[in-house]
A = this chain, B = another copy of it.
Amino acid sequence: MTSLVIVSHSKKLAEGLKEILEQVARDIRIIAIGGAMASSNSDILGSDPSKIKETFLSLANDDAIFVLCDFGSTVLSVKYAIRKLPEDIAKKIYLLDAPLVEGAYAVAVQISAGSTVEEIIKSAEESRSFRKLS
């Protein structure tokens, strides 16, 4: 199984994006993480490294784990969480540098299509130049 982990300051944003992706994605586990506190009911904006780490640990048997963040402290929290993981899990995590919504959409489509890790990373990078109005 391949997972896509969405990390946002806002739990609502992450869950909303997951809703959209689940319309286009197949054979992929999508996980939405958001908010500052460990409680699953937290509506407080922020990020929680321990929650992110626990999520990664729960995906230990996955083949690959792709991660997209909004910005700032969510990125730092993900990096911190990865450093605290056993090497065999950490090496399967691909933290992508791409726009959150557009990158996650591209990644979900590529994973569903059975693309390689390299193709998936490339699609996230290319989502920067995605034109919406033309």
List the interface of chain A (C-beta within 8 A of B).
8-17, 19-20, 23, 34, 45, 69-71, 75, 95, 97, 99-102, 105, 127-134
A52 CB to closest chain B CB (Å) equals 15
Q: Which of B99, B131, B133 lies in contact with A100, CB distance below 8 A?
A: B99
A-B contact pairs, 20 of them (CB 8 A): A10-B19, A10-B20, A12-B12, A12-B15, A12-B16, A13-B17, A16-B16, A16-B34, A69-B132, A71-B101, A71-B105, A71-B130, A71-B132, A75-B133, A97-B133, A99-B99, A99-B100, A99-B101, A99-B130, A128-B129
Given contacts A128-B128, A133-B97, contact A45 B20 (CB under 8 A): yes
